Structure 1
Amino acid sequence: MALVLNDEQTMLRDNARGFLAKNAPIAHLRALRDKRDAEGFSRALWKEFVEMGWAGILVPQDYGGLGLGHVEAGVVMEELGRTLTPSPFLATAVLAATAIARAGTDKQKQHYLPKLVAGDLIATLAVDEFAKHHPDHSAMTAARAGKDFKLNGAKTFVIDGHVANLLIVAARTAGKAGDTSGLTLFIVDASAPGVRAERTPTVDAHNAARITFQDVNISAENVLGKVDAGWDVLEGVLNVGRAAVAAEMVGASEEAFGRTVAYLKERKQFGKAIGEFQALQHRAAHLYCELEVTRAAVLKALQTLDDSYDRAGAIVSVAKARAGLSATLAVQEAVQMHGGIGMTDEFDIGLFMKRVRVCQELFGDSNFHADRLARLNRY
């Protein structure tokens, strides 16, 4: 398959780019940050996302969604990266929608998916328990209580966890930390007794939370997939999230690069634009090549998720690792080429560095995915 967008995907990209540039420029993020908004995103803007159908991109048409693919979800994520827009799109429309659509019973799909599409629910995935991403090390317990379960433990770095109505939680019903068997996914009402969310704003002014579970009773009807066999479902959902975050980093890094090139043409030193200096030209050319290779890798990962969902793990790790490295290079070069002003908060370029740093850690950094790729290839 050609590594280019088709006409419909290009139209979606252009529409999303125009809409976000007008309605959610970086000034939107600054306003939320500076007034210390309690929710950290605009519900009015999210309602517009819903009205455009973005909340249902990955939801089948039978449940009210658009029934599109991961490439289309990646297109929206890339444009969100360009404007650094905080929204529940990743948590709700990508992670939660994928988990329920892929593993839910028909009753669960009928109950939850239309509500996600309509914007009546904000949902997220709660998996990590440590400073670094190690989903197989989950130790949170889900002990049998008759036919039901009782959850105890804590999750950290839960995207939009403080505003979520619904949580997809990975907990251990058997085995020990480090085992891939024995994990089970649960659908948990965020308002259930024993669930407590503490907002932990990230350095990039986006949203995350630490969520604790103390003797939370969960009905067996709220098991997502099969008991003790949640790992394969979880890995699939994480792959989708990883590819989506990689697409966001492509958008952020290309926007940072574009702003830097414009600055090189404007800033003058010794009577000439600094972009005329060969050393900076070489660095810019190198960065451009790196970003183009990364764009191809990320698009290939999204296409593979659409065509061969269960065999996309390796290329997704390539895309996430590559996106982390090239985006980090892009924002570091951007700050350096802007000089002293690049370090000031009043200049937007530093905000891209902060967002890329968070995205690098989200669902595994470049080192995690290099190791994962080696293991998948039996090195």
Structure 2
Amino acid sequence: MDFGLSEERRILRDTAARFIRDSYDMKTRHALAASAEGFSRDKWREFAELGLVAALLPAEVGGLGGFGEDILVVMEEIGRGLVVEPFLATAVLGGGLIAELGSEAQKAILEEVIAGTRLLAFAQGEAESRYSLSEVRTRAERRGDGWLLNGQKSVVLNGDSADLLVVSARASGAADDEAGLALFLVDAAAPGVTRRGYATVDGGHAAEVGLADVKVGEDALLGEAGQAFPAIERVVGRGLLALCAEALGTMEVCRDMTLDYLRTRKQFGVPIGKFQALQHRMVDLCLEIEQARSAVMFAAGKLEASRPERERALSAAKNLTGRVGRLVAEESIQLHGGIAMTWEYALPHFAKRLTMIDHQLGDADHHLERFIAFSQAR
């Protein structure tokens, strides 16, 4: 099996890596994260001009691919640069749902997304849902020739800066039924929509979104009412792959910073990397990262497989990157010592991002249970 990248994907990777290296240092990143929206719209448009947003969407909607390998290449470089722009929220989740279910008129919105001029957010999670994709209590009721939405959404990634929300709501059925879910495009400035934004521990942004008698037309419905769950699961799967790829890039930066520190920090007149106990810990760390990379590459190749095969591979990758990410964060900090706890040093910011990645779209324990469930269902 050939695990090498095609020429086009090598160019994509090199373009992303060069741009981030030249214009996205840690000082710039901190300034962007501390801004009102938590990122730069100008920088987002620059990423879009380079084709990095289009690479995450299929060619049928004007993108450049959107395959598992494309997500892997782009998001790994995003992880290396600790980029705070909304790739996951806008391109992978919000854009992915419109690409999956949208009408021709709705898919036209993606032209603005690809150009970097419109931002999306997927309003899915709720206070009682934890990681369940089917636990949705927000209600959608037919009113005349449209719909009335009522409910609360929690921890909506980049929800405070989005221009358009992709909102999941229950059109029928019990609160935890997979059947009965619907998706709606909701203008973030529409009457009845409230947003309370806040910064997250890793430098990102999220929001609590309220929907109080929000009226939308029939043209706001994505796909068929009550049949949205399969598309939600598929697109969240793409999000899982994106997070795993981002974690790989982040882990490799932590590894390289730690190796460099072990080679330069001296104790008893020699670099501490000469001490066998530390060498053993570093070797174990490198082996775990390579194992995680194998799982993520396997998941990327299964993105278009049958549901059980796809979901097993994605949950296995998310479980492993979650566990290895925690190990990398802990070991890197311990091998550095006190300097790894200071704001001025880059390492702790990468470690915080690894911690947050584990909890987004389901933590390691959740995906272990999910992997077992799909394995037993065979």
TM-score higher than 0.5 here?
yes
Give TM-score, length-normalised by structure 2. Answer: 0.95
Where do residues 296-307 of structure 1 align in structure 2 (5 Å cutoff)? 296-305=294-303, 307=304
Q: Which residue number corresponds to residue 203 of structure 1?
A: 201
Q: Which residue number corresponds to residue 214 of structure 2?
A: 216
In the TM superposition, residue 68 of structure 1 has moved relative to its aligned partner by 4.3
Where do residues 4-23 of structure 1 align in structure 2 (5 Å cutoff)? 4-23=4-23
Q: Which residue number corresponds to residue 194 of structure 1?
A: 192
In the TM superposition, residue 134 of structure 1 has moved relative to its aligned partner by 2.0
8 Å CA contact 1:236, 1:309 repeated in 2: no
1:265 correspondence with 2:263: yes
Q: Which residue number corresponds to residue 339 of structure 2?
A: 341
Q: Which residue number corresponds to residue 124 of structure 2?
A: 127
In the TM superposition, residue 11 of structure 1 has moved relative to its aligned partner by 2.5
Which range moved further: 127-136 or 323-332? 127-136
Q: Cα 1:6–1:64, aligned 2, differ >3 Å: closer, same or farther?
A: closer
1:295-347 residue CA offsets vs partner (Å, 9 max, x unmatched)? 11112212221x43745211011111111111111111110000111111121
In the TM superposition, residue 26 of structure 1 has moved relative to its aligned partner by 2.0
1:255 correspondence with 2:257: no
1:113 correspondence with 2:110: yes
One-letter identity of the residue aligned with 1:24: Y
One-letter identity of the residue aligned with 1:20: I
**Aligned residue pair count:** 375
1:201-228 residue CA offsets vs partner (Å, 9 max, x unmatched)? 1011111111111110121221112111
* Identity over aligned pairs, percent: 39
One-letter identity of the residue aligned with 1:364: G
Where do residues 1-379 of structure 1 align in structure 2 (5 Å cutoff)? 1-33=1-33, 36-109=34-107, 111-130=108-127, 132-305=130-303, 307-308=304-305, 310=307, 311-378=309-376
Distance 1:346 1:119 in 2: 31
In the TM superposition, residue 170 of structure 1 has moved relative to its aligned partner by 1.0
Distance 1:253 1:312 in 2: 24
One-letter identity of the residue aligned with 1:248: E
Distance 2:215 2:300 in 1: 37
Q: Cα 1:31–1:168, aligned 2, differ >3 Å: closer, same or farther?
A: same
Distance 2:57 2:13 in 1: 19
One-letter identity of the residue aligned with 1:16: A
One-letter identity of the residue aligned with 1:208: A
8 Å CA contact 1:225, 1:233 repeated in 2: no
Q: Structure 1 stretches of 5 or more lacking a match?
A: none
SS in 1 for 2:199: coil
One-letter identity of the residue aligned with 1:367: D
1:12-51 residue CA offsets vs partner (Å, 9 max, x unmatched)? 2122111101111222222234xx3101101121111111
Q: Cα 1:168–1:309, aligned 2, differ >3 Å: closer, same or farther?
A: farther
Once superposed, what is the RMSD of the aligned Cα atoms? Answer: 1.6
Distance 1:335 1:376 in 2: 36
Distance 1:177 1:367 in 2: 23
Q: Structure 2 stretches of 5 or more lacking a match?
A: none
Give TM-score, length-normalised by structure 1. Answer: 0.95
Q: Cα 1:115–1:84, aligned 2, differ >3 Å: closer, same or farther?
A: same
8 Å CA contact 1:54, 1:93 repeated in 2: no
SS in 2 for 1:96: helix
One-letter identity of the residue aligned with 1:156: S
In the TM superposition, residue 80 of structure 1 has moved relative to its aligned partner by 1.0
8 Å CA contact 1:25, 1:85 repeated in 2: no
Distance 1:369 1:68 in 2: 24
8 Å CA contact 1:57, 1:93 repeated in 2: no
Distance 1:353 1:138 in 2: 32
Distance 2:322 2:57 in 1: 28
In the TM superposition, residue 136 of structure 1 has moved relative to its aligned partner by 1.6
One-letter identity of the residue aligned with 2:6: N
One-letter identity of the residue aligned with 2:115: A
SS in 2 for 1:229: coil
One-letter identity of the residue aligned with 2:312: A
1:173-224 residue CA offsets vs partner (Å, 9 max, x unmatched)? 1122221111111111111111111112101111111111111012122111
In the TM superposition, residue 358 of structure 1 has moved relative to its aligned partner by 1.1
SS in 2 for 1:364: coil
8 Å CA contact 2:57, 2:92 repeated in 1: no
SS in 2 for 1:290: helix
In the TM superposition, residue 130 of structure 1 has moved relative to its aligned partner by 2.8
One-letter identity of the residue aligned with 1:260: T
One-letter identity of the residue aligned with 2:111: P
